[in-house]
Chain A
Amino acid sequence: MPYDIGATTGYADLKSRIHTFLQDNGWTLSGTVIYKGNVFAQLTDNTAYLQLVGGQGESGGALTDTCPAISRIRTDAWGTDVTFPCTYHFFVHTSPDVFMCVINHNTLNVQWMTFGEVNKYGAWNGGQYFGASYNSGSLHNVWQFSNWRCRFYNTQAGQNTNCGIGYFWASTDTSSGGYGNMQMVCDLDGSAGDWIDNHGTLSTRNFNGSYLANNLVPYSPNTFNSQAVLVPIHLYHNRPSDFSSVIGEPGHTRYVNIKHYNAADIITLGAEKWMVFPHHKKSANSLTDPAVYPSGSETGYLGFAVRYDGP
């Protein structure tokens, strides 16, 4: 069954459970690398975090063509620190291959980790991605969460920002050497094997799923039927000469406004079921007004949904 829920006692336990779950569902563990098809990932546990890095191959149990950036689920989180035991949700899907881990800690708080391959639009090479709630940076620059035009999660005038927090959401770490929290292989306008990420301003190496969600996710749920639309995540990639392309969408996930939902609630649509989560922590804010933003750890009503095949 491509869904599992349970309690984890720490990052070593969480890593072990992920490896076991994925191997039970057709993935291969070689040394420290868990892989399937074109998707290669390496998990490293620590007392303070579970770290994820992606590669483009495996040799002798080690990643090859490894991404220079890393992503983490971490104890020292913005807002409420992670305490164990906490609940985990695992999802794995095929066509395309996608793994998603969500931990729900201290009742209202969420962190997530994912790797997989996008449904690509057009002819380009790559599409393997990975990411988690945090990048490698420290927390000190994270500030209030603002979502004006679905631009960034952690930006407010005059503030430097660091982490992305959001699932495929634009991040705005413009510091030297900084990275976003999501990375993907994409050779459009670049070279074979190049990694692009969701940080920075409008550089040509930037991608995200949030820009095209502008208008759609914040202005929900519907007044006329109280339902929140599941919005496909169209990945927007900046190109040279002030153009952009829609390069694909991550499979089995959607953006959704969670005003009427809490973490791990299930939406049933005909034969489909989707489990919804906040990007970090739900709060009563539609995030349609740039002047009204929640506290630093909160992500308003914006959330994401994962296709759910469980009971």
Chain B
Amino acid sequence: MPHEIGTASGHYDLLAKIKAFVTSTVEMGAGNEWSIERDDTTGDDHELILNGPGLTGLEEIFVGIKTYQSVDDDYFNFKVMGATGYSLGDSFEAQPGSSGMKGVPLWDATIPYWIIANAQRIIVVANVETIYQTFYIGKMVPYASPNQYPYPLAIVSMLTSAPATRYSDTSYNFGFKNGDTGAFVIRDNAGTWLSPKTWPWKNAWIGAAYYTATASEEENLRDTGGVYPVLPIVIWETTPNHYGEFDGVYYVSGFSLAVEDTMTIGGDTYLVVRNAARTGFQDYIAIKLD
């Protein structure tokens, strides 16, 4: 899938580079590029609302990115969202069927970044002074037919809302981990934005701490003879429901892995990304680049 690795000069520039990449026919391939519904850089808060064609080329997938910042408090962040449509007359925050705002802590200095995008979702990884910020906006892969689940929109970010949080705050996690923290939401068929769990976090044999497991159950995965199997991240809840899994994002053990490592599995290249500055065994994901 298309990806770009580069360096932005700050959060405004990162937003500009995301826009340039995902709307480029050259980069994305004809028919896979996102179209722009709103691109407002006139004020302090830059706004970008995009419409994706989906893998069928016949869909409309609405996502948005907006900057918010404070020099006084030294934060220069994104807020990201998903919506069910676009309304010219409404604010970024009041778009129809909005997921609500989910924050991504950034800064106004050099940001090495990775943009991984296809026609149905956009993933961005930003290295902010070795604190890795990741967000995913767009469709996940549903365990259902299009008729059963026509708009499986997922928003994964770092913050549960869009507060005045500096990147150096140590309390936040990427939304992939455990799922039900509020930094990750999906839209169900009733139009409700849910915050379900994610597997294999929540599995008693990997993420055992969540279940207050016995000591013997508190195990972690490691490599398998020097190879790191990646596991799909399954979105589920005890209702029961298994909604689906993320497109191109996988669980990988942090055992002897380092952020920005790349792995080749079955001819595909995967980028290893960690949860902010954390280095625990359960704080890593692998994102498919190709």
* Residues of chain A having any CB pair with chain B under 8 Å: 121-124, 149, 151, 188, 201-202, 211-212, 214-216, 218-225, 227, 229, 234, 236-239, 242-247, 286, 288
Contact = CB atoms under 8 A, between A and B. Distances in A.
B79 interface: no
23 contacts: A122-B223, A122-B226, A122-B227, A149-B217, A188-B224, A201-B216, A212-B206, A214-B203, A215-B203, A215-B234, A215-B236, A219-B237, A224-B241, A224-B243, A225-B149, A242-B220, A244-B221, A245-B221, A245-B225, A245-B229, A246-B224, A246-B229, A246-B231
A216 B245 CA distance: 12
B170 interface: no
Interface stretch (B7-15, B23-31, B107-115, B194-202): B194-202
B219 A247 contact: no
Contact of B205 (A123, A211, A219, A239): A211
A269 B224 CA distance: 31
B56 interface: no
B221 A243 contact: yes
Contact of B229 (A121, A202, A211, A215): A121
A224 to B, nearest CB: 6
Nearest to B220: A243
Interface in B134-154: 143-145, 148-149
B225 A122 contact: yes
B224 A121 contact: yes
A149 B231 contact: no
Given A123-B226, A227-B148, A243-B219, 4 more contacts: A123-B224, A123-B225, A123-B227, A149-B205
A222 B227 contact: no
B42 interface: no
Contacts of B238: 219, 288
Interface of A is mostly: loop
B188 interface: yes
Contacts of A288: 238
B225 A188 contact: yes
Interface of B is mostly: loop
Given A216-B234, A219-B236, A224 B227 contact: no
A122 B255 CA distance: 15
Given A212-B200, A229-B143, A238 B149 contact: no
A130 B225 CA distance: 23
Given A123-B226, A123-B227, A215 B219 contact: no
B143 A122 contact: no
Nearest to B265: A121
A224 B148 contact: yes
Given A215-B197, A244-B219, A288-B238, A224 B149 contact: yes
Given A227-B143, A229-B242, A246-B231, A215 B199 contact: yes
A246 B143 contact: no
B38 interface: no
Contacts of B231: 212, 234, 246
B222 interface: yes
Contacts of A225: 144-145, 148-149
A196 to B, nearest CB: 14
A47 B235 CA distance: 48
B149 A215 contact: no
B143 A222 contact: yes
A235 B28 CA distance: 37
Nearest to B222: A243
Top 4 A-B pairs ranked by shortest CB distance?
A122-B224, A122-B227, A219-B240, A123-B225
B269 interface: no
Contacts of B148: 224-225, 227
A200 to B, nearest CB: 12
